[in-house]
Amino acid sequence: MIISFSQRLRERFPLIYLVTAELEKVDNTGSRELRQERKQVKRIIKEQYRKYKNLEPIRTYERYFSRHGLEFPLSAIYEQVLTGKDIPTFSPLVDAVLLSSLKHRVLLDVKDLDRIEGGLMLDEGWEGEEFRNLKGELMFIQQGDLVLRDEKDIILSWLYGSGEKAKVHRDTKRAVILGLPVPGVDERRIELAVEEAVKLAVKACKAKAGRLEIHKPGEGLEERGLVFERIDPWGRVDVKDYKRLQDEFGIKPIEPLLKELKPHPYFERKIVFGHRDLERILQAIRKRKPWALMTGMMPSGPFHFGHKMVADEIIYWQSQGADVFICIADLEAYGVRKIGLEELRKTALEIYIPNLIALGLKPESCKIYFQSDWVPAYYRLVCMFSRKVTFNEFKDIYGDISPAKIQAALLQSADILHPQLELFGGPKPVLVPVGVDQDPHLRLARDLAERFKEFGFIRPSSTYHKFMRGLKGGKMSSSDPASYISLNDDPQTAKKKLMAAFTGGGGTVKEQREKGGNPDVCTVFDLFKYHLIKQEEELLRIYEECRTGKRICGDCKKQCSQLLIEFLEEHQKKFEKAKEKVKRFLAKV
């Protein structure tokens, strides 16, 4: 199990940790009792815990709880037992965890793994955040409370206990036992308590024990390149392991939904690799209910094949019935990229929008707008959102932050959520297809959707595509024309760039014939895979011929340059026609 730690928590509690142990094949039914263990724990409490408040780590927990005006929750049970009452009983699994917790004098909890949505993050709670406890009662988090979040909700509060979300039921089959320290509680004590809870659960529930893990901030994340604050929507993101990234950020795999999706190479080739709440969009399509797609483009440079990926996704979803909103992010580019508004507007009108139309976008069923020139209700949202996000929260989500980036983040949230305003038909599912570098914007927008209940917002859905490498093997950069091919490049210029592109070939032709090439790192093969070859059989043939040495880099570059020139010549004819139509298709409300 992967647990992430928020940046804010790491700064406040750098030595914090969490202990977990997973259980499978749990049988939480029936009335099997841990009679001997229950008697043993009662005897220990009566004989050794008469002055329990002087014992460690109870004193450390008591200090933490008393600072917030609360009592350590185990204290009430100790008092109960010392006055002759029994230890309360719940279910076999919960009882096993409680007995170990009481014996070792530490906080433990247990959650239903199958009811947890996405990944888990340990965080410091925000003052006034809503949380429903085990009884379903609405509580308000105190500043300084430690909380555990899944993708959607707080599932556990140190101060208020286990949450209603993901609580253990009679039908629970998979569970996770959690050891909950506060600063100053010895790690080994928590570990021993979790180990014993697992043994008791195996006995009481016939469960199969999984691995016990101790999670610490940043441990193991450097090597994976997945530290939370590295996902930067304005900087360089280099993802080496998309599976690890899915686990880290709670992004669901796309494969289980493939049967419900109309075929597209991006799905079949796992270019679009993950999603959040795409089921909601598919349900709207099936039931012919209104839904929207929202995307944005920052016109800060040429329109290249990286932009074409987003365009292809827009066009695909438009064909599935989406009401399309396309934001031209000129205010964000003005603040973050330092480009003048007039230049940005000119680039959008003369390059970006015509390219979208030439690729197949139907502008008559789109709302294309500039951030600097849209409806008043949109700007009201930006101002309202600023009230319910703190500076520390911006730092937690985005890392390094500036006033311009804060403004851009609020604008992005308004872009994502405003299609659900009454002006545009009211609340509806909204899909945002993005690269994973834009996920911080989605997380913020999803949180804001929950905080502004008066609008009835539905949390936005999202899909995530892999990054296409630049021609040099790294990221495409608008400041380096040799790293990308623009859809408006002269075909011969594009061919020259392609012939100089980084490949996965060997040092010599002889070596490549003998050892084969590596199409997985080849930027020429990326062009085949992402854009130029539609037939799966042909793509697989090229892949195998490269890998086995039957095909050398010159063969690929020759074939790729022919396909590239054909595509650019045809596209640029459509582009010229599209330029004439642009202004009349800009959305007016």
Task: Write out pLDDT tens, residues 387-427.
Answer: 888 777 777 677 777 888 898 899 999 999 999 999 999 99
Examine the domain organization and report whether 503 and 359 are in the same domain: no
End of a domain among 219, 252, 284?
Answer: 219
Examine the domain organization and report whether 504 and 561 are in the same domain: yes
pLDDT tier at 586, thresholds 50, 70, 90? low
User: How far apart are alpha carbons 362 and 347 in whole angstroms?
Assistant: 20
Examine the domain organization and report whether 273 and 197 are in the same domain: no
Q: What percent of the chain has pLDDT over 90?
A: 66
| DSSP alpha helix (H) spans, 211-349 | 221-224, 242-249, 265-268, 278-286, 305-319, 330-332, 341-347
Q: Please tell me the predicted confidence (pLDDT) of residue 150.
A: 87
Q: Please tell me the predicted confidence (pLDDT) of residue 60.
A: 92
SS (H, E, C) 49-88: CCCHHHCCCHHHHHHHHHCCCCCCHHHHHHHHHHCCCCCC
Examine the domain organization and report whether 385 and 513 are in the same domain: no
Examine the domain organization and report whether 86 and 186 are in the same domain: yes
> Would you state the structure tokens that stand for residue 314, as one six-digit string?
């827009």
Mean pLDDT for 212-236 is 57
Examine the domain organization and report whether 539 and 442 are in the same domain: no
Residue 589 lies in a domain: no
User: How far apart are alpha carbons 88 and 436 in whole angstroms?
Assistant: 47
Q: Please tell me the predicted confidence (pLDDT) of residue 584.
A: 66
Write out pLDDT tens, residues 291-309.
Answer: 999 999 999 899 999 999 9
Q: Please tell me the predicted confidence (pLDDT) of residue 387.
A: 87
Q: Which residue has the higher pLDDT, 398 or 132?
A: 132
Mean pLDDT for 376-389 is 92
> Would you state the structure tokens that stand for residue 519, as one six-digit string?
């199409």
End of a domain among 189, 219, 249?
Answer: 219
Contact present, 168 and 112 (Cβ < 8 Å): yes
Examine the domain organization and report whether 391 and 416 are in the same domain: yes
Residue 232 has pLDDT above 70, yes or no: no
Examine the domain organization and report whether 195 and 118 are in the same domain: yes
Residue 559 lies in a domain: yes
Q: Which range among 127-131, 280-284, 396-400, 481-485 shows the weakest confidence by mean pLDDT?
A: 396-400
Domain of 154? 3-219
Residue 564 has pLDDT above 50, yes or no: yes
CATH code, 83:
3.50.40.10
User: How far apart are alpha carbons 316 and 310 in whole angstroms?
Assistant: 10
Residue 445 has pLDDT above 60, yes or no: yes
pLDDT tier at 587, thresholds 50, 70, 90? very low
Mean pLDDT for 437-448 is 88
pLDDT, mean over the chain: 89
CATH code, 543:
1.10.240.10
Examine the domain organization and report whether 55 and 194 are in the same domain: yes
Residue 470 lies in a domain: no
User: How far apart are alpha carbons 140 and 131 in whole angstroms?
Assistant: 6
Q: Please tell me the predicted confidence (pLDDT) of residue 147.
A: 95
Pairing mode, strands 323-328 and 366-370? parallel
pLDDT tier at 197, thresholds 50, 70, 90? very high
Q: Which residue has the higher pLDDT, 240 or 205?
A: 205
Other Cβ atoms within 10 Å of 308 Cβ, number: 20
Examine the domain organization and report whether 390 and 434 are in the same domain: yes
pLDDT tier at 219, thresholds 50, 70, 90? very low
Residue 320 lies in a domain: yes
Rg (CA), the chain: 28
Q: Please tell me the predicted confidence (pLDDT) of residue 246.
A: 73
Q: Which residue has the higher pLDDT, 50 or 295?
A: 295
Q: Please tell me the predicted confidence (pLDDT) of residue 291.
A: 98
Closest CA to 521 of 304, 240, 303, 312: 240
Number of domains the chain contains: 3
Mean pLDDT for 561-575 is 97
Examine the domain organization and report whether 365 and 485 are in the same domain: no
Examine the domain organization and report whether 97 and 242 are in the same domain: no
Q: Please tell me the predicted confidence (pLDDT) of residue 32.
A: 63
End of a domain among 190, 219, 248?
Answer: 219
Residue 385 lies in a domain: yes
Contact present, 136 and 164 (Cβ < 8 Å): yes
User: How far apart are alpha carbons 71 and 113 in whole angstroms?
Assistant: 28
pLDDT tier at 233, thresholds 50, 70, 90? low
User: How far apart are alpha carbons 174 and 186 in whole angstroms?
Assistant: 28
Q: Please tell me the predicted confidence (pLDDT) of residue 227.
A: 39
Residue 324 lies in a domain: yes
Write out pLDDT tens, residues 76-115.
Answer: 999 999 999 999 999 999 999 999 999 999 999 999 999 9
CATH code, 263:
3.40.50.620
pLDDT tier at 159, thresholds 50, 70, 90? very high
Residue 358 has pLDDT above 60, yes or no: yes
Q: Which residue has the higher pLDDT, 247 or 118?
A: 118
Query: What pTM did the predictor assign?
Result: 0.64
Please list, in sequence order, all residues whose beta carbon lies within 8 angstroms of the beta carbon of residue 158, skipping any fewer than 6 positions away.
Answer: 64, 107, 145, 146, 147, 180, 182
Residue 226 lies in a domain: no
Residue 75 lies in a domain: yes
Contact present, 181 and 187 (Cβ < 8 Å): yes
